[in-house]
Structure 1
Amino acid sequence: MLDKKIKFKTKDYLVSQEYFNLIFDKESDMLITEPQPENIEKYYDPKNYISHSDDKNSVIEKVYQQVKKITLNEKVKLIDQYSLDEKSLLDIGCGTGEFLAYAKNKNWNTVGVEVNQNARNKASNKNLKIYKSLEDLPNRQFNIISLWHVLEHLPNLNEKISLIKTKLDDNGILIIAVPNYKSYDAKHYKEFWAAYDTPRHLWHFSQDAIKILFEKHNFKVTKTLPMYFDSFYVSLLSEKYKNGKSNYLKAFYRGLISNIKAKSNGEYSSLIYILKKK
């Protein structure tokens, strides 16, 4: 029997205002959202869910879109390090397709998967090849498979990882980016930490959790990289959730402290994992 206990309750601040438990599973070193909704789609309101939108109306949306422009170049520079002759890229949970469009412009052969119809339509309008699910993909493999802040959303986690593995070349690279619940900003904001994002985030990972999870599927973590901007953006949202209003100076301070502390312990707000098949 798994060793589980309730860590605390947190709230869906974005859509429903409902409360959910975060359960700590000692064996996997994960926090698990409970209950996990059967109809998760209703929690992805396109008016509120920023990664399914290209809008730049609010200050937070403008900040998000500006940071995204910077990170797109960094993401393509990262995958270029591991490119093979075919330069084939599968981006799972591609949202509105900005990363794929940028990579395609840099001569990558791109395919995306996006379950949300609104986001999928916007990606398709960028002249990208987008599928609704992994199961809909043609029988082929890719040099690079990326999941940028997507793994935490996937139901039936082990089944999905097994399927993802079949889509990756034997010499290919799997890139996973997820929030880190052992970061300073997570510990500071506790149940108000925006990166818990319940119930859309079903799983909450530490570095050990990623290693344990992917070891079961014969993957090895070969490198871990920080996502410096995430601590600032997450702190900005967390301040709003905690105090009812955005406090840019406090958010910047907490984000900065989080990155400074992470320089010594490696516990950045979000981390990128580079994985290879064993």
Structure 2
Amino acid sequence: MSHTIHFNECPACGSTAISTVMPVKDHSVSGENFNLTECASCTFRFTQDMPDAATIGPYYKSEDYISHTNTSKGLINSLYQKVRRRTLKQKRKLVCRHTGLQTGRLLDIGAGIGAFANEMQSNGWDTTCLEPDPDARKLAVSLFKLNPGTPDQLFSLAPASFDAITMWHVLEHVHDLHTYLDQLKKLLKPGGKIFIAVPNYTSLDARSYKDFWAAYDVPRHLWHFSPASMQTLMQKHQITLKTVKPMWYDSFYVSMLSSKYKNGKTNLFGAVWTGWWSNVGALFNTRKCSSVIYIGE
């Protein structure tokens, strides 16, 4: 189905101390298995033999890919839509609080259908958004009257021009990991903040569902982060980690999907129980949350 990329060393730190953790199935599209590989030096995980950027497109062609389709079909997607309306406001407040600004210049990378960019723009922010999927870009235009650009435009933006840069569950999809992080640092104004949200494979729900954990989402998720490996990556690109914040709802959404993958249908009670226990653990240590927001400058 694709041309693949094989790594003989860790893509994050360059160590050759890498080994296969387990095979993980693509439950959404292809049904293929991909090996999850971990670096013993920095704890970074990655999808071995991942499709390259030119051929990964077909793996995104699914109605289940909610951020690109805006579907409310089914229990999980319906709940996702309800929760998203609440979290959009929470994300806006988070950006305002940590930048110290009520309005400013925002770059939203991987904007999907443009829901967050619209939330910010509607509240006075000068918003630039980028999105690789043409169908999602069309929805951003029709739903929110946005004008999203393509990811290649990231490298033609003026340096030091943004007060905030957001990547909500995007970095795990980006092939050019180091190139992107370098560019993000260049685009920040002095004192500006970067907000990077990614799944956390050290969370309790990840440990519970193992290879069925929906946030592995191979091969669309190329990279799989632990808090330690994310901090290493940020330091490598001169991004200072200021704080981490939890994404409380993700544990429930991911657990419901994981339960569906494991059992053939969602065990709602079991999924909610796992999500709840995952969050209880994260109350005492944010770095154990199902998904974590890393805020840097």
TM-score range, shorter chain: over 0.9
29-38 or 82-91, which deviates more: 82-91
The CA RMSD over aligned residues, in Å, is 1.4
- For 1:127, which of 139, 145, 167 is the aligned residue? 145
Q: Could you tell me how far 1:29 is from its partner in structure 2?
A: 1.4
Taking structure 2 as the reference length, the TM-score comes to 0.90
Show the counterpart of 2:6: none
Instruction: Find out whether 1:268 has 2:289 as its counterpart.
Output: yes
1:251 aligns to what?
271
Aligned partners of 1:46, 1:139: CA distance in 2, in Å? 35
Give yes or no for the alignment of 1:144 onto 2:144. no
Contact 1:228 / 1:268 at 8 angstroms: preserved in 2? yes
1:39-188 matched pairs, under 5 angstroms: 39-81=55-97, 82-84=99-101, 87-125=104-142, 126-135=144-153, 137-140=156-159, 141-188=161-208
Cross-structure match for 2:4: none
Distance 1:254 1:156 in 2: 34
1:220 to 209, 231, 240: 240
Following TM superposition, by how much is the alpha carbon of 1:138 offset from its aligned partner in structure 2, in angstroms?
3.6
Alpha-carbon contact 1:28-1:213 (below 8 Å) kept: no
Spell out, residue by residue over 1:235-259, the C-alpha distance to the aligned partner (whole angstroms, 9 max, x if none): 0000000111111111000000111
Give me the TM-score of the superposition, normalised by structure 1.
0.96
**Does structure 2 retain, via aligned residues, the 8 Å contact 1:8–1:22?**
yes
Q: Quote the Cα distance in structure 2 between the aligned partners of 1:86 and 1:254.
A: 38
> Could you tell which deviates more after superposition, 24-33 or 214-223?
24-33
Residues 29, 61 of structure 2: 8 Å contact kept: yes
Letter in 2 for 1:22: L
Is the contact between residue 103 and residue 123 of structure 2 (CA under 8 Å) also seen in structure 1?
no
Residue type at the aligned position of 2:221: H
CA 1:57–1:86 in 2, change beyond 3 Å: closer, same or farther?
A: closer
- 1:142 positional shift: 0.7
Q: Partners in 2 of 1:265 and 1:173 — Cα distance?
A: 23
In structure 2, give the amino acid aligned to 1:274.
I
Q: Give yes or no for contact 1:110–1:128 (8 Å, CA) kept in 2.
A: no
Amino acid in structure 2 at the alignment position of 1:139: A
**Percent of aligned pairs sharing the same letter:** 40
Residue 49 of structure 2, aligned match among 32, 35, 40: 35
**How far, CA to CA, are the matches of 2:252 and 2:62 in structure 1?**
23
Structure 1: gaps spanning 5 or more residues: none
Say whether the 8 Å CA contact 2:131–2:148 is kept in structure 1.
Answer: yes
Distance 1:239 1:154, change over 3 A: same
Unaligned residue ranges in structure 2 (runs of 5+): 1-14
Q: Which residue of 1 is the match for residue 31 of structure 2?
A: 17
Q: CA deviation at 1:28?
A: 2.7
Number of residue pairs matched by the alignment: 276
